[in-house]
Chain A
């Protein structure tokens, strides 16, 4: 067990998980001395009937102050300020966020404005600007991937000034996260796969990165085990409630791990590919994860090798010689991607050349790979990666991930 000389870990979110966890929200709010929430969601969640499930589950226990599904795909400053007005106009005393990362970021932004009684969210951007606890915030994730329900960050876009502002504070940690299998039961298999592999990447990078610590490790190992055991089962049988709940738990555990141990080159290149070509984050993560592990293997093969146990189980782990376990981990993740690809009739891409948009167009043209490598230079997640990465390194990885060929280890510059 690796124990750093010094580390910090904080995850003070109450987790309520189960097939009927939504029904516990009134009690959770009461404990926080609240009972008139503003429910924030988006149109997709609303159209899938998930907001209705939430309101039905809680309506006898609380008075819903207001409900809105106006959150756009990217959280925006304008909508944050609008929703803060809605919160005040309806005398709300708490917030319930139902949705993915954008909804949660918006809810966190609204919470800053209403709690600080402010008129401009931007005054609180950066780290350390918040000095006191905010209003009670309950979050209900509707995908099993981002882990936003246990992270202390919110990203809000100012579309007018073309700025993406990050807000970082322990006060942004939600008070309660609800993991209920009903919230992800209708998630299509391809999205289930991408989001779960996003969570897998969180856990794997947290465990193999520079800021790893025993608390994050414990969360990461549990997350990997839950996701590995259940992902394919759920893709083959989307109505598997137990599997859905397991994936939701896995994503939250992975969120707790990576928000304290951070991530590395997989996320660095994933963010860059997302911003240059618009590829969904989870798709980038699933493709890049084995490449990130290969790139860093000369630095952390012992940690990567340990992951074979939660990934593949005790028999495979025990049957694999110690010096081959890291390679086994990479091979196992590649096999997971292939199995998911087959189970989704090719919907889950194994490499970037395969990624298509809804109209069947290639999303990552080969001529964009240089742009991706350049964009990666501006991403802070690389600080936590075990090996240094410059433009040539990024380009080498993204080229291999585009073609679907393993990395040529001879080309890796070893520090």
Chain B
């Protein structure tokens, strides 16, 4: 056999950057929703005191880490899982699968059904976090896109949907 230059898969920096921005924003939005939305608040209250979860893309990220601090407040904990104790680890199998999900070409449900994700951790935690993510998507996205992301678009009051949306966007941008 002759000498061949080893061809490695491209890094896909633009796709990674897009997913990283989405994860960053979703992480901060979850932090905000935990203060604004009663259902998200309830879901986190049922989770253990120091619960931490990671949503990321295999093999090398990007990631998003969200957890409860010692006071029970939900915080976006950044994009580096290294060294952190993770109770629930949700990994999308590759950047292409992540792009399908984060450009809403494929709903979270369909992605799960198509084995795009690996979940490591207690099942009840995963159920709670999926519900939180669904609520987050309804707040962040216009209805015609959110309908692609969730199984059933919820019927919410005007104040919950629109005032909540403004508050969550505002808090997500400012990071509190």
Contacts and interface: CB of A to CB of B under 8 A. Distances in A.
Interface stretch (A35-43, A315-323, A381-389): A381-389
Given A126-B120, A128-B118, A377-B127, A384 B152 contact: no
Interface string B140-162: 00000000001111010000000
A400 to B, nearest CB: 19
Contacts of B110: 210
Interface residues of B, number: 22
B152 A211 contact: no
Interface in A1-54: 4-8
Given A127-B120, A210-B109, A388-B151, A6 B114 contact: yes
Interface in A262-310: 262
Nearest to B121: A126
Nearest to B130: A383
Q: Which of A8, A378, A384 has the largest number of chain B CB atoms within 10 A? A: A378
Interface string A159-196: 00000001000000000000000000000000000000
Given A5-B114, A7-B114, A8-B115, A415 B151 contact: yes
A380 B151 contact: no
A236 interface: no
Interface residues of A, number: 26
Contacts of B174: none
Interface string A365-385: 000000000000111101110
Nearest to B126: A380
A290 to B, nearest CB: 22
Interface string A340-384: 000000000000000000000000000000000000011110111
A210 B109 CA distance: 8
Contacts of B126: 380
B112 interface: yes
Given A388-B151, A415-B151, A415-B152, A127 B127 contact: no
A380 B152 contact: no
B109 A383 contact: yes
Interface of B: 109-110, 112-116, 118-121, 123-124, 126-128, 130, 150-153, 155
